[in-house]
A and B are shown apart, each in its own frame.
Chain A
Amino acid sequence: MSQAAVSVEGVSKRFRMYRERNQSLKAALMRGKRASFEEFWALRDVSFEIPQGSTFGLIGENGSGKSTLLKCIARILQPDAGQVVARGRLAALLELGSGFHPELSGRENVYLNGSILGMRRKELEAKFDEIVDFAGIGTFIDQPVKNYSSGMYVRLGFAIAINIDPEILLVDEILAVGDAAFQQKCMDKFADFRSAGKTVVIVSHAMGSLRSMCDRAAWLQKGHLVEVGATEQTVDDYVDATHVDRPTETDDTNRWGSGEATITEVQLINVAGARSSRFRTGEEFTIRIDYDFHERIDKPVFGLAITTLDGHYLWAFHSRDGEFVPESVTGTGSVDMTVPSLMLQPGTFEVTASIVDYSTTHTFDFLRNCTRFDVDLGSPRESGGPVALGGSWGNLRSAAAASAIGSSAKGA
């Protein structure tokens, strides 16, 4: 336990941003050079250690260098300075099934891919049934993989990688692989991994699952290491630091209305009264509509709706149902809709806002998906789906031992 599974020692990685790239001779001769490029540092002097047996998260915004670092650990990229020392067999789940030969059968590809990932033939033979079983490929194993569905392809790739039994597993952006049942199998496998004392390194944007899976995390920003430490602390700091507005583009398809009154802005306000785009489950949450009424309108109705990113309509509320009906409005101003406790589970959501007349049949302005926000784990903490209902477990009544009531079980 004393030795780190992976030591990242002063790693820097430089990439070239090609303005022009003369990979053909004619171009190179005519321009008198092979390429003109700007250099930028994807990683700059990053050092930390990943302890053996830990599950380690790499977090940061897009372009922060997480994936580059993962590829450096996986030895796919070579750092320009510093070094990465990995102690133990290493497997990377970067792109599954990338080495498959389409014309060869699943069986042949298992041996091919397995050996590329560093497995001996004997080990593969011993694990073969487990791999096929895990992938759920069944009798298709002797078919050429080009006949596989994309799901089967990826599942087989994953099954090989996870069954090569690495001491260090690198995972990029987990696993939108397969159906719910397969995902559950993957999560179980990760859990086995962790309990077997193996090291897992995960790159992800899903703060919720990182928080629940990882012991430690490193936060990268523009190639620099900002913080490394216990997951809770690091993720909290990261989430706090990235509390910024998320602009969303509006175009004609997302906006319509007759225009007598317009929405100038939709702001999301947190419990401290500040603008934010990140909230926690159970936090106070306010949506503020800034309006501009070009003429006097009697009894206008403000409307709001929340949808998930994939378009599921979760909630809507307009001010007439909220029994908030101003006699008339003119000029500019704003109106708030406040939720005392945001009952949404971690995820990203979109806000739609509108101004309509009292009959709600005439639309002055309608802005679909005008802003979005993220929800991170908070309280209540429930297990899945978009909404939190604030439920509680209890009242265990065993028919066999009716007298055992009393010790109530409280769970998440």
Chain B
Amino acid sequence: MSLSNDLRASREILSNLTMREVRGKYKRSFLGQTWSLLNPIASLAIYTVVFGLVLKATPPPGEPSGIDNFTLWLACALLPWNFFSVTVQGGMNALLGNANLVQKVYFPRYTLIVSNMLAGLVTFGFELLVLAAIAVVFGSQIWIWIPLVIVFVILLALFGLGIGLMLSISNVYFRDTAQFVGIGMQMWFYATPIVYPITLVVATQERWAEQGNDFPLVWLYNLNPMERFVQIFRDLLYDNRLPPWGDMAYCLGATVVSLGLGALIFSRYQGRVAEEL
């Protein structure tokens, strides 16, 4: 009985905390909510210049969509990554950043981490809408893939949430966490085929193989769940094709593990959070 009460009560808290995040974020800035679109546009522009024009990363054209546009190709992976990154890093800081609240009022603590994710989801949702509209202009046939996109947005959100739950606890007990994660996320970003096509990695392994070095680079590379997520979003939005079943299953598995572990660690340690803060 108390659990269902808890859940019902937390729905209200969640929607209010989420609103606080969304509304509070750009308050008092001249451009307000526009920033949530300007920011990704700016990073898209930067990465397009650096990786598309200067370093000449040339991803293969969409198959079967036939779209050939670096920025669009980049956006299909960069936007999901940004959302993931916000969910993880924001979630990590959610307990510490709300210390005054946690120490003075009882409410289900996980709502802080979840609301951070939901606020990111709101922004990501808008970005996806804009992206989808632009993709359609470029000839993408995304209509039949929309349900799958939604499924994977949810899976990505839960995958990030699980990691956020673990890190939020870790950050309370161990303040270095935030620094490590800052570096780790940067490494993870470049270990995921976002700004360059995976064909470059495959080519590298082939070159090594010719030199007699049979290091399983691609196999290792493929262990990264974010690689699968990013490829799936590209398959759906850019190429308009059904992602490989193996990739989809892998993402589902990664999400279950991440969320399960996150929930386990969080529920185990959350009781002492108020005094450790």
Give A contacts to B, CB under 8 Å: 15, 23-26, 28, 34, 71, 74-78, 92, 94-95, 98-99, 101, 103-104, 108, 111-112, 115-121, 144
When the two chains form their complex, are residues B174 and A101 in contact, meaning their CB atoms are under 8 A apart? no
Q: In the complex, how many angstroms separate the beta carbon of B188 from the nearest chain A beta carbon?
A: 19
Residues of B within 8 A of A74 (CB): 105-106
Task: Report, nearest first, the 9 A-B pairs whose CB atoms are least far apart.
Answer: A78-B271, A75-B106, A103-B27, A115-B12, A25-B176, A98-B104, A115-B16, A95-B104, A23-B175
Are A98 and B105 CB-contacts (below 8 A) given A15-B275, A23-B174, A108-B23? yes
Q: Which residues of A contact B101 (CB under 8 A)?
A: 98-99, 116
Most chain B CB within a 10 A radius of its CB, from A15, A23, A28: A23
Chain A residue nearest to B106 (CB atoms) is A75
Q: Is the CB of A103 within 8 A of B28?
A: yes
Residue among B100, B105, B180, B275 making CB contact with A117, cutoff 8 Å: B105
A230–B266 alpha-carbon span in the complex (Å): 42
Cα–Cα distance between A23 and B276 once the two chains are bound (Å):
10
A25 touches B105 (CB 8 A): no
Interfacial chain B residues near A121, Cβ < 8 Å? 12
Confirm or deny: B17 has a beta carbon within 8 angstroms of a beta carbon on chain A. yes
Residues of B within 8 A of A34 (CB): 174
Find out whether the CB atom of A116 lies under 8 angstroms from the CB atom of B19: no
Residues of A within 8 A of B100 (CB): 95, 98-99
Contact count A vs B, C-beta below 8 Å: 80
Q: Are B271 and A76 in contact (CB under 8 A)?
A: no
Minimum C-beta distance from A309 to chain B (A): 27
Q: List 14 A-B contacts (CB under 8 A).
A: A15-B275, A76-B102, A76-B104, A92-B104, A92-B105, A94-B104, A94-B105, A103-B24, A112-B19, A112-B20, A115-B13, A116-B105, A118-B107, A144-B27
Which B residues form the contact surface with A (CB < 8 A)?
9, 12-13, 15-17, 19-20, 23-24, 27-28, 100-107, 173-176, 180, 271-272, 274-275
CB distance from B100 to the nearest CB of A (A): 5
Q: A94-B105, A98-B104, A112-B20 are in contact. Are A24 and B176 (CB under 8 A)?
A: yes
Q: How far is the CA of A119 from the CA of B11 in the complex (A)?
A: 11
Closest B residue to A118 using CB positions: B9
In the bound complex, residues from chain B placing their C-beta under 8 Å from that of A119 are 12
Contact partner of B24 (CB less than 8 A), chosen from A26, A77, A101, A117, is A101
The reply to whether B24 and A120 form a contact with Cβ atoms under 8 Å apart is no
A120 neighbours in B (Cβ, 8 Å): 12
A104 to B274 alpha-carbon distance, docked (Å): 25
From A15, A104, A112, B27 is in contact (CB under 8 Å) with: A104
Q: Report the bound CA distance from A29 to B19 in whole Å.
A: 41
Q: Is the CB of B13 within 8 A of A116?
A: yes
